[in-house]
Amino acid sequence: MSGDLRDLYQEVIFDHYKRPRNCGALDAATHRAEGHNPLCGDQVTIDLKVDDGIVKDVRFEGAGCAIATASASLMTEALKGRRVDEVEALFRRFHDLVTAEHEQDDAGLGKLEVLAGVREFPARVKCATLAWHTLNAALRNRPEPVSTE
């Protein structure tokens, strides 16, 4: 990855950390789950409104490090209007992106690819995937909070 691209990625992450999108509770949520990453102290709640198999709205609440917050914010932007089965495929691709040993040329993940750099920092992978694991639990209506440990 070129230095310029890396700088751009860091700018996007910082922007989403400072001004998180879709932050706050969602009225009339149909799905909700809480997630916790004890290693870093990140905590997130994901609220979803699913109607007819489509994610109509998604919001998150919580406190976390820059990576956890930016990842949750970017995730909410990526999900709106998607079918639930698309969301699961997206999660698998995102998980591959942040854990793969080699850079992929084009993972087809759009803006989410700014988080690819965390693969160099294994502890940060949990920060980047916390919102996604929590989302998964919300979609499955799991009552117990999610933990990355």
Span of 68-76, 83-91, 115-123, 136-144 interacting with Zn ion by CB under 5 A? 68-76
d(CA 27, CA 42): 23
Q: How far is the first Cα of the chain from the last one, in angstroms, to the nearest whole number?
A: 30
Span of 10-18, 65-73, 93-101, 106-114 interacting with Zn ion by CB under 5 A? 65-73
Residue 64 C-beta: closest distance to Zn ion, Å:
5
Burial of 15 (0-12, 13-18, 19+ CB in 10 A): middle
How many residues make up the chain in this entry? 149
127 near Zn ion (CB under 5 A): yes
Residue 130 C-beta: closest distance to Zn ion, Å:
7
Residue 60 C-beta: closest distance to Zn ion, Å:
14
Distance set, CA 85 to CA 89, 90, 92 (Å): 6, 9, 11
User: Distance between alpha carbon 94 and the CA centroid of its chain, in Å?
Assistant: 9
40 near Zn ion (CB under 5 A): yes
Residue 36 C-beta: closest distance to Zn ion, Å:
11
Position among 12, 65, 84, 107 found at the interface with Zn ion (CB under 5 A):
65
Q: Which is closer to Zn ion, CB of 16 or CB of 31?
A: 16
d(CA 92, CA 59): 20
| Site of interaction with Zn ion (CB under 5 A) | 40, 42, 65, 68, 127
